[in-house]
């Protein structure tokens, strides 16, 4: 991958040296013996990345590359995964669960020993991460273990994806750094959400919105019309590409939408705008997901998936929380033209609908809690992160107590493996949110309708 090539060249030699020492795992009865050492410090950027050496046990695993795909699955190896392994210069970390066919994934790892690392439940139990104690089995949140492993392994970019999202051939996300970047600027504070899907020109001009978008604003033109009274679109000449810490790909054929859309609106759909990245304004929320998203080192802290909510909610809550925290830094969120096509794994739309209940009924509460929070009083984003999660648990009750304990363990693990958080550069003030208009037709009469 050519993402941030100049940056990764500086750390290449050090990464190779690091992994000559190998990273180890063992299945059980481990004792944590972590030797954190600074191998390289990249002085060209606002943050510095520590590459660490850890002794996890007695079983050697393959070195990880600069870009690492992370996947959790209970399904078999499929074409989407095979394509990544055979055609991209990436490592792949696969997190198994109790229902996963371990022998099949072990065999796949054996076929691709320099690329694939499969972590079975036993292997996961042998890792020294405190986070393990707080992530339940049979939950989408197991993916967080893979994120920690990739960060500890020295990855600079993580491709967080689901195995029903197939990278487009031949390039996939390779070359995305050369795509044209556009930036939206808000003309007023009246707008707090933005739907990026219409900008990317869905086929047949179909109106479409992303999973997790507040339902009451779906038809509000201010939330999706660019170059309108609320938004101004500009070529982002002054935005450095390495400041886009999250790049969410749209998906052709079966995009990431909620069950209400799937049961009432047309599919399949593709997006016609090509090789473009769109950056929403600061203080304006757009949900992103865990199906096909590129995350760079400065946003690694935000990869943790909440576990007190369903899998259909977890990645959306994560996106809103991470977005709010990144506004305090120099880093941005971008949405890109689709570099994947989704052929969706088996799903019941009604089960999805039930699992998405919080997205329909509590997203406005979440956004209000985020908007009312500030980082004032916190010198580091690390302490601000815990403060925000505490607010979402103890005041807003959007997350459960288990997520607060998980977040604290996650922060401890990041510290142990040498992760350096981005610096707070500016503080977005607290704000109230706009509300949808109340529909009142009481003043109308039958005679008015017949005129």
SS3 332: strand
Q: How many CB atoms lie within 10 A of CB 214?
A: 22
- C-alpha separations of 235 from 110, 191, 277, 302 in Å: 46, 21, 10, 27
Band of pLDDT at residue 46, cut at 50, 70 and 90: very low
What distance in Å separates the CA atoms of residue 263 and residue 119, rounded to the nearest whole number? Answer: 36
Instruction: Give mean pLDDT, residues 225-246.
Output: 92
Average pLDDT, the chain: 86
For residues 28 and 120, the answer to whether their CB atoms sit within 8 Å is no
Quick check: 302 pLDDT over 70? yes
Tell the burial category of 9 from Cβ atoms under 10 Å away from its Cβ (0-12, 13-18, 19+): exposed
Percent of the chain with pLDDT over 90: 76
Instruction: Give mean pLDDT, residues 143-168.
Output: 96
Instruction: Give mean pLDDT, residues 291-301.
Output: 98
| Sequence spans of domains, the chain | 62-451
For residues 73 and 94, the answer to whether their CB atoms sit within 8 Å is yes
pLDDT digit string, tens, across residues 414-427: 999 999 999 999 99
Band of pLDDT at residue 357, cut at 50, 70 and 90: very high
pTM of the predicted model as reported, rounded to 2 decimal places: 0.86
What distance in Å separates the CA atoms of residue 188 and residue 419, rounded to the nearest whole number? Answer: 36
Quick check: 39 pLDDT over 50? no
Pairing state between β 157-161 and 165-167: unpaired
- C-alpha separations of 219 from 4, 186, 194, 215, 291 in Å: 38, 18, 11, 8, 25
Predicted confidence at residue 447, as pLDDT, reads: 60
**Nearest residue to 57 (alpha-carbon basis) of 113, 123, 154:** 123
Predicted confidence at residue 17, as pLDDT, reads: 36
Predicted confidence at residue 28, as pLDDT, reads: 30
Band of pLDDT at residue 44, cut at 50, 70 and 90: very low
What totals of helices (H) and strands (E) does the chain contain, helices first? 13, 15
Task: Say which range, 277-291, 299-313, 427-441, has the weakest mean pLDDT.
Answer: 427-441
Quick check: 349 pLDDT over 80? yes
Instruction: Give mean pLDDT, residues 166-185.
Output: 92
């Amino acid at each position: 991958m050519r993402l941030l090539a100049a940056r990764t060249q500086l750390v290449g030699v050090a990464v190779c040296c690091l992994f000559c020492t190998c990273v180890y795992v063992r299945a059980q009865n481990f004792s944590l013996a972590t030797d954190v050492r600074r191998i390289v410090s990249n002085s060209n950027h606002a943050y510095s990345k520590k590459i660490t050496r850890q002794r996890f046990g007695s079983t050697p695993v393959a070195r990880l590359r600069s870009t690492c795909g992370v996947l959790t699955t209970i399904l078999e190896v499929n074409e989407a995964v095979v394509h990544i392994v055979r055609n991209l210069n990436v490592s792949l970390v696969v997190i198994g669960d109790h229902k996963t066919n371990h022998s099949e994934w072990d065999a796949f790892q054996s076929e691709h020993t320099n690329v694939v690392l499969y972590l079975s439940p036993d292997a996961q139990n042998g890792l020294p991460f405190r986070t393990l104690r707080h992530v339940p089995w049979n939950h989408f949140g197991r993916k967080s273990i893979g994120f920690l492993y990739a960060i500890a392994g020295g990855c600079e970019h993580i491709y967080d994806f689901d195995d029903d999202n197939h990278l487009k051939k031949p390039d996939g996300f390779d070359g995305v750094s050369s795509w044209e970047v556009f930036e939206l600027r808000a003309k007023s504070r009246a707008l707090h959400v933005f739907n990026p899907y219409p900008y990317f020109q869905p086929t047949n001009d179909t109106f479409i919105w992303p999973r997790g978008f507040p339902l009451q604003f779906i038809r509000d033109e201010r939330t999706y019309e660019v170059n309108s009274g609320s938004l101004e679109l500009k070529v982002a000449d002054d935005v450095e590409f390495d400041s886009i810490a999250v790049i969410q790909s749209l998906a052709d054929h079966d995009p990431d939408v909620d069950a209400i859309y799937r049961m009432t609106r047309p599919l399949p759909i593709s997006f016609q705008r090509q090789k473009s990245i769109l950056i929403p304004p600061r203080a304006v929320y757009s949900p992103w997901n865990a199906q096909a998203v590129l995350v760079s080192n400065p946003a690694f802290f935000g990869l943790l998936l909440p576990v007190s909510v369903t899998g259909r909610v977890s990645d959306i809550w994560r996106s809103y929380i991470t977005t709010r925290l990144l506004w305090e830094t120099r880093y941005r969120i971008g949405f890109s033209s689709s570099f994947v096509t989704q052929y969706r794994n088996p799903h019941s739309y009604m089960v999805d609908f039930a699992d998405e209940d919080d997205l329909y009924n509590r997203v406005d509460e979440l956004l209000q809690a985020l908007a009312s929070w500030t980082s004032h009083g916190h010198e580091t984003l690390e302490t601000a992160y815990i403060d925000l999660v505490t607010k979402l648990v103890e005041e807003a009750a959007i997350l459960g107590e288990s997520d607060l304990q998980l977040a604290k363990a996650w922060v401890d693990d990041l510290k142990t493996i040498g992760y350096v958080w981005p610096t707070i550069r500016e503080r977005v003030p607290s704000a109230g949110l706009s509300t949808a208009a109340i529909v009142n037709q009481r003043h109308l009469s039958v005679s008015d309708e017949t005129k």
